Amino acid sequence: MNRDLNDSDIVKEQEHIDGFTIPKRELTSVEANLDITLERFREFHYAAGEDFIDTISDFLNEKVFAGWLMHKYPHYIEEIIAASNLNDIYGIKETVEQFDYDEKEDIDMIYKEVAEFANQTIHTKKRINQILVQIKEYYG
């Protein structure tokens, strides 16, 4: 017996949060539009026990982010270009001292820049919120 397959016959592979075995779920519009903040990145680090940039591979376009940083910090253009040629956000953090670890904030200050950048976009903001919301739920 041969019959055509329909959508109900096809088993879809469950997507997971990048770097984790947590199944993705659809965010509410409120969750998808939450402000990305330094505090929320810090909460991720404490909850997951991982560094966001080290763990999550595809949360923003590194070249666009580097261009935005160069516009914002023209005095660091050479350092940002050198690191961005490697598609390496963490390299930018390590190259420009201002973006490195701040003891008072207990986080790398590159996250302040990532948050500001992400809050200006629709898709990047939603991708980051997907991770931050679900990690907080999972490790709650």
Whether 66 is in a domain gets the answer: yes
What is the pLDDT confidence band of residue 135, given thresholds at 50, 70 and 90? very high
The type of residue at 11 is: V
Please report the pLDDT score of residue 116 as a whole number.
98
138: Cα within 13 Å, side-chain hemisphere: 19
Please report the pLDDT score of residue 2 as a whole number.
57
CB atoms within 10 A of CB 116: 14
Sign of the dihedral through C-alpha 112, 114, 118, 124: negative
Residue 95: give the domain boundaries: 28-139
Whether 116 is in a domain gets the answer: yes
Whether 93 is in a domain gets the answer: yes
Please report the pLDDT score of residue 63 as a whole number.
87
Question: Per the structure, how many domains does the chain have?
Answer: 1
For the cut 90, the answer to whether the pLDDT of residue 34 exceeds it is: yes
Whether 8 is in a domain gets the answer: no
Whether 95 is in a domain gets the answer: yes
Q: What is the pTM of this model?
A: 0.86
Whether 39 is in a domain gets the answer: yes
Whether 114 is in a domain gets the answer: yes
Whether 22 is in a domain gets the answer: no
What is the pLDDT confidence band of residue 61, given thresholds at 50, 70 and 90? confident
Tell me which of 13 and 51 has the higher pLDDT: 51
